[in-house]
């Protein structure tokens, strides 16, 4: 008779139809411990029937079984939930899930303690691993936290961990091709990883070509000294206009004299104005576009400009951008030269 009464109470509990007195009566019957098999069967049915919400994962379902059913530690889990089968459920199923959650909260008092005050365990915050990897792709000028710059060629990527960079070392990973201009720091070596190859410097300018289309990795120095090797040995130390070429597969290498200007000629397609004054900017523009540019006002020389032109923009486009930034104008002269005029900068 009591079994039938308990079953009716439990079904009413799942439907959220019990009064406070009936709910207390049900919990008192549970406490007597005579209906564990019925509880196991009902909870198994609910779990098998996907009575699980989107926020209930496999660990939570196992906790339900271990906690409510008081299973011995050496006994295997009753049921494994497949996360792929999780889905939203209808309102009736939500009531069932809420009932299970309430049983978890009350389980400690009604299953294991005698007449203790029900309490809900504090929620443990979920720690989510933060992705600290900084990733740059495609042709662009990259400013690193230490003040160094990297000019990426097309179809190239550069990565570094913002948490570890500039701690004991300054380490980046390159695929493709890039020109590095590294700030000197004798206490923190700058290391470029390209596959199995490591390029180590203190402060210098150099080019690394590790394009996927090539079977070699080429390291060429424009300024300073560069050490090239792998985790086991050093291949060599090279200086300006020297290059070390390493086979990606065999790690065989050779050292040669080259023209760094020829190797880095790909940079000539780009116009990089990186926080420079207008005197320097005009010099670079004149050199690239083979045109004479005059500054009509001496104060214009004081203006500083930061801009990157990486898509072979024409001269007019470059001048329009620059003049809009420093609030000047440009005009073509009869002789073919260009004059930039305006109030300038203090």
For the record, the structure tokens of 346 come out as 């203090």
Burial 126-151 (b: 16+ CB within 10 A, else e): eeeeeeeeeebeebbbbebeeebbbb
CA distance 278 to 280: 5
Q: Which residues, 6 or more positions from 192, have their beta carbon under 8 angstroms from its beta carbon?
A: 171, 172, 173, 174, 180, 198, 199, 208
Note the pLDDT tens digit of each residue in 85-118.
333 333 333 344 444 444 544 443 333 333 344 4
Residues in contact with 168: Cβ distance below 8 Å, sequence separation at least 6, in sequence order = 188
Q: For the segment 316-342, what is each residue's pLDDT rounded down to a tens digit?
A: 999 999 999 999 999 999 888 999 999
The string of DSSP codes covering 245-288 is: EEETTT--EEEEE--HHHHTGGGGG-EEEEEEEHHHHHHHHHHH
Specify whether the CB–CB gap between 117 and 104 falls below 8 A. no
pTM beyond 0.85:
no
Q: Are 178 and 151 in contact (CB under 8 A)?
A: yes
Q: Which of 166, 146, 148, 145 is nearest to 274 (CA)?
A: 148
Q: For residue 5, give both structure tokens.
A: 């009464």
Work out the pLDDT band at 44, boundaries 50, 70, 90.
low
DSSP secondary structure string, 42-88?
A: HHHHHHHTT---TT--HHHHHHHHHHHTT--TTSPPS----GGG---
First to last CA, the chain: 97
Domain with CATH 2.60.120.1440 in the chain: 133-263
Which has more confidence, 52 or 36?
36
Average pLDDT of the chain?
Answer: 79
CB 171 within 8 A of CB 144: no
Tokens of 86: 């999780």
Query: Which is it for strands 197-201 and 205-210: parallel, antiparallel or unpaired?
Result: unpaired
**Residue 233: other Cβ atoms inside 10 A:** 7
For residue 279, pLDDT beyond 60: yes
Segment 173-230, tens digit of pLDDT: 999 999 999 999 999 999 999 999 999 998 899 999 999 889 999 999 999 999 999 9
Q: Architecture of 133-263 per CATH?
A: Sandwich (2.60)
pLDDT at position 25: 74
Q: Is 171's pLDDT higher than 90?
A: yes
Confidence at residue 32, expressed as pLDDT on a 0 to 100 scale: 66
Residue ranges of the chain that CATH labels 3.55.50.30: 270-341
pLDDT score at 69: 45
Would you tell me which CATH number, out of the four given (3.30.360.10, 2.130.10.10, 3.55.50.30, 3.40.50.300), belongs to the domain 270-341?
Answer: 3.55.50.30
Q: Quick one: pLDDT at residue 60?
A: 44
Asked which of 24-33, 156-165, 261-270 is least confident by mean pLDDT, the reply is: 24-33
């Amino acid at each position: 008779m009591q079994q039938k009464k308990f079953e009716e109470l439990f079904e009413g509990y799942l439907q959220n139809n019990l009064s406070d007195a009936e709910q207390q009566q049900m919990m008192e019957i549970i406490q007597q411990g005579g209906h564990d098999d019925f509880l196991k069967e009902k909870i198994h049915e609910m779990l098998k029937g996907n009575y699980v919400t989107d926020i209930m994962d496999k660990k939570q379902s196992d906790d339900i079984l271990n906690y409510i059913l008081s299973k011995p530690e050496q006994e295997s889990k009753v049921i494994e939930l497949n996360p792929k089968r999780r889905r939203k459920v209808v309102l009736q199923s939500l009531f069932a899930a809420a009932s299970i959650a309430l049983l978890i909260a009350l389980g400690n008092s009604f299953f294991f303690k005698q007449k203790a005050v029900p309490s809900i365990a504090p929620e443990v915050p979920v720690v989510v691993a933060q992705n600290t990897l900084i990733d740059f792709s495609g042709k662009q000028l990259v400013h690193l936290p230490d003040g160094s710059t990297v000019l990426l060629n097309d179809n190239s990527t550069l990565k570094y961990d913002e948490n570890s960079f500039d701690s004991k070392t300054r380490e980046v990973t390159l695929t493709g091709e890039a020109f590095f201009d590294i700030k000197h720091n004798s206490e923190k070596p700058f290391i470029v990883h390209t596959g199995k190859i490591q390029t180590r410097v203190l402060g210098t300018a150099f080019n690394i070509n590790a394009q996927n289309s090539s079977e070699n990795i080429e390291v060429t120095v424009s300024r300073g000294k560069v050490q090239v090797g792998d985790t086991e040995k050093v291949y060599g130390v090279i200086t300006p206009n020297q290059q070390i070429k390493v086979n990606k597969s065999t790690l065989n290498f050779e050292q040669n004299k080259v023209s760094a200007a020829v190797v880095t000629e790909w940079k000539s397609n780009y116009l990089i104005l990186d926080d420079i004054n207008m005197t320097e900017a005009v010099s670079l523009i004149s050199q690239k576009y083979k045109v004479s540019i005059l500054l009509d006002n001496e104060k214009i020389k004081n203006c500083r400009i930061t801009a990157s032109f990486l898509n072979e923009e024409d001269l007019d486009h470059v001048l329009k951008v620059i003049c809009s930034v420093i609030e000047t104008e440009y005009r073509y002269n009869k002789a073919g030269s260009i004059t930039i005029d305006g109030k300038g900068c203090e």
